[in-house]
A and B are shown apart, each in its own frame.
Chain A
Amino acid sequence: MTEEKYILRVENIKKAFGTNQVLQGVSVNVRKGETVCFIGPSGTGKSTLLRCINQLTIPDSGKIFLNDEEVTHAGPRINYFRQKIGMVFQNFFLFDHLTAVRNVEIALLKVKKLPPKEAREKALYELRQVGMADWADHYPAELSGGQAQRVSIARALAMDPEIMLFDEPTSALDPELTREVLEVMKKLALQGMTMLVVTHEMGFACSVANKICFMEHGHIKEEGSPAELLNNPEFERCKAFIGEFREYSQ
């Protein structure tokens, strides 16, 4: 079976908010070390899909497996799975009352129950990885958006996740700050982290992704390698979407 090679399997996920059917049966498989980018117009369910994967949003139907263990219907065990599924948010969501290093170490202390010294060392290590060690004692309000997002990446990485979900990680940032965050993500991908990235950064998607999924109206309308999708999109809407990106990037 080829299935056992997949670290993450998403099977026919459906989710409606009221009468709005946001996900209409989405399936996607991800191999270890792969980066999968989700692109497409706003409001097509990309973020909802990511939130379903770690059950921040409970899907109406469908199943999700991490290493062949079912994440859906996990009950309280979901807190175990969430440690293995790191998540980075568009608006960072750093804990506003804690310094950068405390942001990274708090879950190590409370969830992983590491001794304080060990947690601090691990937190500082992760901050170094994202180039934020010098800012360890600063509060979120004292950081730029790019710095805050790098801290939030460090916070997720500290839990030693097996996959990372990025929900429009640069959409709240200006181009310069966007670049510093994408650098960190690129490095992470090269180190072999498995990543699912919802993004509008086509440049990043093309250069880093193993696979790009184009989503619209709650479906994955087209998927393939960046080359396949960019050069030879079969689906008209996808062609138009990518065309617009090309037009503006010239």
Chain B
Amino acid sequence: MALEILIDWFPYLFSGIVLTLGLVAAALIIGVGLGLPLALGQVYGTLPVRFIISIYVWFFRGLPVLVLLFLFYFGLFPALGLDLPAFYVGAIVLGLWGAAYQSQVFRGAIQSISEGQMTAARSLGMSRFQAIRSVILPQAMRIALPGWSNQYPEILTESSVCYAIGVAELLTRSSQIVSQTYVTMPIYLACAVIFILLSYAGTSGIHILEKKIAIPGFGPGGS
């Protein structure tokens, strides 16, 4: 009975999976795309730059995602005259929130690279920018990867709060099915299993990547 309902409703649930993965992908892209420059600014920036970044990090790490979501969805975006669909708001908020955490993962990795690497690069005539790009970052990103890999399951699970602003992601779809069919636990169990499988698949992928880019004797798991 429950199984039949699940099979019947699976296409509906599946569209929720697609949206959840969409949220996660967008949030991770924003997270890296913004988190990395934030980290570089915090390490190499001038005092005002570092100050502004620390405010950013403090703000986004200090608030629950749900609160951020409400602030942006009901407050900031309408105030700016932007009538964005809930999905975009969710992706942006998760991305900005994740960037704050990811910037600290990247910052730690960049700072763990010994001073000598920059010194040697500069002694060969590289500019600071060239040294960061071809020497510091390739090393820092490898060191950051294990810590960064936390971000995927974290954003994946946290994306379910977009339920609160009506994004039709996995949890939203599940609860809609529940209210249509009056079957509760099997549906939420299915929802949970899907979350866990998505989490497992993603972290396994990152582990494979870690092994693939590992360098003998370098960084965590590199030896």
Interfacial residues, chain A to chain B (CB-CB below 8 A) = 54, 56, 76, 79-80, 82-83, 85-87, 89, 91, 93-97, 106-107, 110-111, 139-142, 152, 155-156, 159
Docked pose: A3 CA to B216 CA in angstroms: 50
Question: Which 6 A-B pairs rank lowest in CB-CB distance, beginning with the nearest?
Answer: A141-B217, A93-B120, A93-B116, A107-B124, A83-B125, A82-B125
Q: How many contacts A-B (CB < 8 Å)?
A: 78
What is the minimal beta-carbon distance from B208 to any residue of chain A, in angstroms?
Answer: 19
Interfacial residues, chain B to chain A (CB-CB below 8 A) = 114, 116-117, 119-127, 130, 134-135, 138-139, 142, 215-218, 223
Q: Is the CB of B116 within 8 A of A139?
A: no
Chain A contacts of B218 at CB under 8 A?
Answer: 96-97, 139, 141
13 intermolecular pairs with C-beta atoms under 8 Å apart = A56-B119, A56-B122, A79-B127, A82-B122, A82-B125, A86-B123, A87-B120, A93-B114, A95-B121, A96-B217, A107-B124, A111-B124, A156-B123
Instruction: Among B123, B216, B223, point to the contact of A82 (Cβ < 8 A).
Output: B123
Of all chain A residues, which has the CB nearest B128?
Answer: A79
Chain B contacts of A76 at CB under 8 A?
Answer: 127
Chain A contacts of B139 at CB under 8 A?
Answer: 95-97
Of all chain B residues, which has the CB nearest A95?
Answer: B135
With A83-B125, A106-B134, A159-B125: A89-B215 Cβ-Cβ less than 8 Å = no
What is the minimal beta-carbon distance from B159 to any residue of chain A, in angstroms?
Answer: 33
Q: Is the CB of B117 within 8 A of A159?
A: no
Chain A contacts of B121 at CB under 8 A?
Answer: 95, 107
Of all chain B residues, which has the CB nearest A99?
Answer: B215
Q: Is the CB of A139 within 8 A of B123?
A: no
Chain A contacts of B216 at CB under 8 A?
Answer: 139, 141-142
Chain A contacts of B130 at CB under 8 A?
Answer: 110-111
Chain B contacts of A152 at CB under 8 A?
Answer: 120
Instruction: Among A79, A89, A93, A139, point to the contact of B125 (Cβ < 8 A).
Output: A79
With A83-B124, A159-B125: A140-B119 Cβ-Cβ less than 8 Å = no
Q: Is the CB of B120 within 8 A of A95?
A: yes
Chain A contacts of B138 at CB under 8 A?
Answer: 97
Docked pose: A85 CA to B114 CA in angstroms: 22
Chain A contacts of B217 at CB under 8 A?
Answer: 96, 139-142
What is the minimal beta-carbon distance from B187 to any residue of chain A, in angstroms?
Answer: 48
Chain A contacts of B127 at CB under 8 A?
Answer: 76, 79
Chain A contacts of B122 at CB under 8 A?
Answer: 56, 82
Chain B contacts of A56 at CB under 8 A?
Answer: 119, 122-123
Of all chain A residues, which has the CB nearest B124?
Answer: A107
Q: Is the CB of B124 within 8 A of A82?
A: yes
Further contacts, 13 of them, CB under 8 A, given A82-B123, A86-B123, A93-B119: A79-B127, A80-B125, A83-B124, A85-B123, A87-B123, A93-B114, A97-B135, A97-B142, A97-B218, A106-B134, A110-B126, A141-B223, A142-B217
With A97-B139, A111-B130: A91-B123 Cβ-Cβ less than 8 Å = no
Docked pose: A111 CA to B121 CA in angstroms: 10
Docked pose: A172 CA to B122 CA in angstroms: 22
Chain A contacts of B142 at CB under 8 A?
Answer: 97
Q: Is the CB of B125 within 8 A of A107?
A: yes
Chain B contacts of A159 at CB under 8 A?
Answer: 124-125
Chain B contacts of A111 at CB under 8 A?
Answer: 124-126, 130
Docked pose: A195 CA to B156 CA in angstroms: 58
Docked pose: A85 CA to B122 CA in angstroms: 11
Chain B contacts of A79 at CB under 8 A?
Answer: 125-127
What is the minimal beta-carbon distance from A14 to any residue of chain B, in angstroms?
Answer: 22
Listed residue (B116, B117, B223) with the most chain A CB atoms within 10 angstroms of its CB: B116
Chain B contacts of A91 at CB under 8 A?
Answer: 116
Docked pose: A54 CA to B223 CA in angstroms: 35
